[in-house]
């Protein structure tokens, strides 16, 4: 095993393989940066290029590209509030808020370094978990996946609204997200649900216009209302010194970064949960790590931990989602389903062979993810200061370009005018939610998990009746859900009682 | 006590109406198709009604809590903020209508130029340079390189 581990490393360093990886990284870098081009589409478009490559070269090229899109996707989220990738939306909440405080450099440094840590942890999780992962994946059937979805939504709804009515608004957001996810054809009976008679809505509400609308539009409106640059009239010194500070933040909150990376890896392993879920769960965990209510009130307003958690999880989930893909041929995400096509093109069969006959190739994938992220972060760090300076450009110059990116990004989802209408509708919803203090994160997570929750609920009730409610893992997840919801509020209440003066 | 019919109340009312519509629509569906939507819509309706009631009658500001999310700027004169908000919403809707009328390839440079010159009152030179830049990105990257199938505008289709 150790020999294969080293051989995998050396295989990636072969000049031809390394060159293909660099090309992949260059493509992935720009794909991640531009909101109009999806990482998934590009991965699919690149498949025909691997016919003449060896398996190691092919996976170095594809994984090199895929593993950096998540890293660079955070850059536009932080600078302009427009996610480069749909899965980079959670970074907006605190990352863009930091940019508005003149700390864009720090936020970018933190996002990139935590992404690197996440990628390394995810990659090595793949390396060490292959022999032991089979029982874990098999434990999680439909009832457990349904409960996992419920836990995720409850968790983020509870944490996004702090105290009193804000918690009600958090749950309202989560439930609205779940309901929006049901728009389209019912997956079981193919009956139209909430489609308003529109063919465009048969496939459901498009995720990219929804996310860009919810997050970018309120930011654009606020930027126009302020009439300044993104960073306002703040001192420019923060921009120059911030990148290193952001890198240091990753190590100041190292255990949080590690925990969020592990959460991302775990979510990556679970088929179908995807990158957006990993980011939001990590964001929820980061918010939960606040020691008191005052500290937690800083989340959403530019707390660096709100950047570190999603940044780490977004990258670590890639290693996680490769685990079931390589070990069982079950893709952990849509990207991995495309990658499965690469296995077939190369004449490889995922499963036991990958852990035995092709172990060197499996380890070369691990090393590709690590090396690609190291190179991306190193290159990015060289010109992050220049990127951060974009936040000092006048808003009147930036706004037409941000709107250009937002409209193009939304349109490329289905190349349909309906995408632009979705963008405008959810832009309006996002603005109203921000104005009325409704957190937007639960709505996105509810939307992302809606279909997963319904499908698994349907399978659970059809297969087990009500007896699935007594499955040990389901019960454990139920208890965890209650703890996640109650504990932060209980701790907050106890702190208040402690601080009250004795009469 | 007289109820307060503010934006908070109307947003909650919107959520309640959506939940009500979901329950109404689900009545015609087979049991399994409608089960999950009902499971979501019932608590949504209940919570939305609670939020409506609290928005209309609650007076305790500190019980509101806060959302872990960004907050809009509040350090401006409300009338100025309102005026600027309406202006940018107008620009966004105008951009959308422009795309419908002339399509992306023409609409984007036209919008960039109009916004820079009329909305931002930027200098002619800068406005023209940035307009050309937006056209190059639009044509070169999205149209020629990525071949994104942009639909024609309504005006172009009239002349075909």
Tokens of B25: 């629509």
Question: For an interface test with B, which of A436, A455, A456 has the most B Cβ atoms less than 10 Å from its Cβ?
Answer: A436
Q: Residue A54 pLDDT > 80, yes or no?
A: yes
Torsion of CA A262, A309, A332, A368, to 10 degrees: -80
Q: Looking at residue A162, what DSSP letter applies?
A: E
Say which of B67, B76, B148 has its CB closest to residue A412. B148
ipTM over 0.90: yes
Q: Which residue of B has its CA nearest to A196?
A: B25
Cβ pair A71, A377 in contact under 8 A: yes
Best CA proximity match to A269, nearest among A147, A151, A155, A122:
A122
Q: Residue A73 pLDDT > 80, yes or no?
A: no
Say which of B30, B68, B100 has its CB closest to residue A287. B68
Please judge whether A432 and B11 are an interchain contact, meaning their C-beta atoms are less than 8 angstroms apart: yes
Say which of B8, B44, B122 has its CB closest to residue A175. B44
Cβ pair A424, B93 in contact under 8 A: yes
Residue A172, min C-alpha distance to chain B (Å): 6
The pLDDT of residue A236 is 53
The pLDDT of residue B38 is 95
Residues B98-121, mean pLDDT to the nearest whole number: 93
Cβ pair A57, A359 in contact under 8 A: no
For chain A, say whether B45 makes contact (Cβ under 8 Å). no
Q: Residue A65 pLDDT > 80, yes or no?
A: yes
Q: Which of A265-269, A272-276, A438-442 has the lowest mean pLDDT?
A: A272-276
Q: Residue A479 contacts by C-beta under 8 Å, 6 or more apart in sequence?
A: none
Q: Grade residue B141 by pLDDT with cuts at 50, 70 and 90.
A: confident
pLDDT digits (tens, 9 = 90+) for A84-94: 666 667 888 88
Q: Residue A259 pLDDT > 80, yes or no?
A: yes
Q: Which of A117-131, A413-427, B66-80 has the highest mean pLDDT?
A: A413-427
Q: How many helices (H) and strands (E) does chain A have?
A: 22, 3
Residues A51-68, mean pLDDT to the nearest whole number: 86
Residue B91, min C-alpha distance to chain A (Å): 9
Q: Which residue of A has its CA nearest to B72?
A: A222
Residue A304, min C-alpha distance to chain B (Å): 14
CA dist list (Å): A202 to A22, A38, A191, A197, A199: 40, 21, 9, 9, 5
Average pLDDT of chain A to the nearest whole number: 81
Question: For an interface test with A, which of B16, B69, B113 has the most A Cβ atoms less than 10 Å from its Cβ?
Answer: B69
The pLDDT of residue A487 is 73
Q: Residue A270 pLDDT > 80, yes or no?
A: no
- Count of CB atoms within 10 A of residue B41's CB? 25
Residues A159-177, mean pLDDT to the nearest whole number: 81
The pLDDT of residue A127 is 76
Share of chain A above pLDDT 90, in %: 12
Q: Which of A121-125, A339-343, B59-63 has the highest mean pLDDT?
A: A121-125
Q: Which of A206-210, A366-370, A385-389, B49-53 has the lowest mean pLDDT?
A: A385-389
Residue predicted with more confidence, B25 or B144: B25
CA distance linking residue A224 with residue A399, whole number of Å: 8
Residues A426-438, mean pLDDT to the nearest whole number: 92
Q: Residue A374 pLDDT > 80, yes or no?
A: yes
Residues A357-376, mean pLDDT to the nearest whole number: 86
Q: Grade residue A370 by pLDDT with cuts at 50, 70 and 90.
A: confident
Please judge whether B12 and A220 are an interchain contact, meaning their C-beta atoms are less than 8 angstroms apart: no
CA dist list (Å): A432 to A55, A159, A392, B47, B160: 50, 20, 27, 18, 41
pLDDT digits (tens, 9 = 90+) for B41-95: 999 999 999 999 988 887 666 556 667 677 788 878 889 999 999 999 999 999 9
Q: Which of A174-183, A461-470, B13-22 has the lowest mean pLDDT?
A: A461-470
The pLDDT of residue A503 is 45
Q: Which residue of B has its CA nearest to A434?
A: B71
Tokens of A284: 């929820």
């Amino acid at each position: 095993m150790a020999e294969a581990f080293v051989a995998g490393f050396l295989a990636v360093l072969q000049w031809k393989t390394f060159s293909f990886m660099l090309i992949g990284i260059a493509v992935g870098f720009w794909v991640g940066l531009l909101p109009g081009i999806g990482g998934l589409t590009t991965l699919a478009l690149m498949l025909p290029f691997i016919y003449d490559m060896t398996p190691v070269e092919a996976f170095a090229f594809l994984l090199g590209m895929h593993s950096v899109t998540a890293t660079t996707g955070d850059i536009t989220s932080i600078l302009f509030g427009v996610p480069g990738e749909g899965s980079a939306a959670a970074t907006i909440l605190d990352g863009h808020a930091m940019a508005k405080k003149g700390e864009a450099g720090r936020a970018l440094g933190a996002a990139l370094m935590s992404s690197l840590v996440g990628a390394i942890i995810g990659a090595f999780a793949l390396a060490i978990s292959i022999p032991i992962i089979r029982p874990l994946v098999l434990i999680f059937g439909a009832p457990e996946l349904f409960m996992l979805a419920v836990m995720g939504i409850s968790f983020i709804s509870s944490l996004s609204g702090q105290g009193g009515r804000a918690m009600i608004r958090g749950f309202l957001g989560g439930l609205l997200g779940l309901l929006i996810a049901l728009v389209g054809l019912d997956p079981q009976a193919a009956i139209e649900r909430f489609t308003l008679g529109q063919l465009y809505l048969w496939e459901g509400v498009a995720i990219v216009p929804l996310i860009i609308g919810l997050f970018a539009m309120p930011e654009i409106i606020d930027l126009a209302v302020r009439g300044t640059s993104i960073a306002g009239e703040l001192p420019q010194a923060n921009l120059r010194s911030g990148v290193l500070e952001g890198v240091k933040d990753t190590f100041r909150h190292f255990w949080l970064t590690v925990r969020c990376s592990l959460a991302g890896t775990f979510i990556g392993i679970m088929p179908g949960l995807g990158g957006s879920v990993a980011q939001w769960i990590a964001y929820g965990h980061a918010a939960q790590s606040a020691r008191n209510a005052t500290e937690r009130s800083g989340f959403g307003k530019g707390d660096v931990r709100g950047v570190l958690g999603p940044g780490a999880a977004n990258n670590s989930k890639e290693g996680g989602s490769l685990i079931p893909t390589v070990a069982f041929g079950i893709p952990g995400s849509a990207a991995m389903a495309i990658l499965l096509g690469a296995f077939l093109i190369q004449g490889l069969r995922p499963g036991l062979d990958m852990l035995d006959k092709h172990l060197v190739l499996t380890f070369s994938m691990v090393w590709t993810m690590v090396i690609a992220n190291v190179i991306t972060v190193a290159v990015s760090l060289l010109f992050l200061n220049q990127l951060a300076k974009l936040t000092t450009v006048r808003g009147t110059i930036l706004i037409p370009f941000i709107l250009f990116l937002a409209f193009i990004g939304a349109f490329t989802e289905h190349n349909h005018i309906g995408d632009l209408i979705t963008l405008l509708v959810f832009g309006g919803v996002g603005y109203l939610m921000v104005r009325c203090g409704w957190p937007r994160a639960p709505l996105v997570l509810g939307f992302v998990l809606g279909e997963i929750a319904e499908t698994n609920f349907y399978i659970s009730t059809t297969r087990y009746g009500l007896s699935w409610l007594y499955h040990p893992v389901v019960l454990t997840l139920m208890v965890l859900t209650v703890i996640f919801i109650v504990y932060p509020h209980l701790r907050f209440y106890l702190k208040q009682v402690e601080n009250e003066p004795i009469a | 006590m007289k109820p307060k019919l503010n934006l908070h109340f109307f947003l909650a009312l919107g959520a309640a109406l959506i939940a009500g519509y979901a329950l109404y629509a689900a009545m015609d569906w087979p049991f399994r198709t409608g089960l999950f939507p009902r499971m979501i819509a019932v608590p949504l309706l209940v919570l939305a009604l609670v939020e409506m009631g609290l928005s209309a009658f609650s007076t305790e500001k500190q019980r509101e809590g806060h959302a872990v999310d960004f907050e809009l700027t509040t350090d401006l004169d409300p009338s100025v903020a309102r005026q600027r908000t309406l202006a940018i919403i107008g620009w966004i809707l105008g951009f959308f209508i422009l795309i419908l009328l002339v399509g992306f390839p023409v609409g984007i440079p036209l919008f960039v130029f109009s916004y820079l010159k009329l909305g931002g009152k930027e200098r002619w030179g800068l406005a023209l340079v940035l307009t050309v830049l937006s056209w190059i990105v639009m044509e070169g990257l999205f149209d020629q390189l990525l071949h994104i199938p942009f639909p024609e505008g309504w005006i172009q289709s009239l002349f075909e």
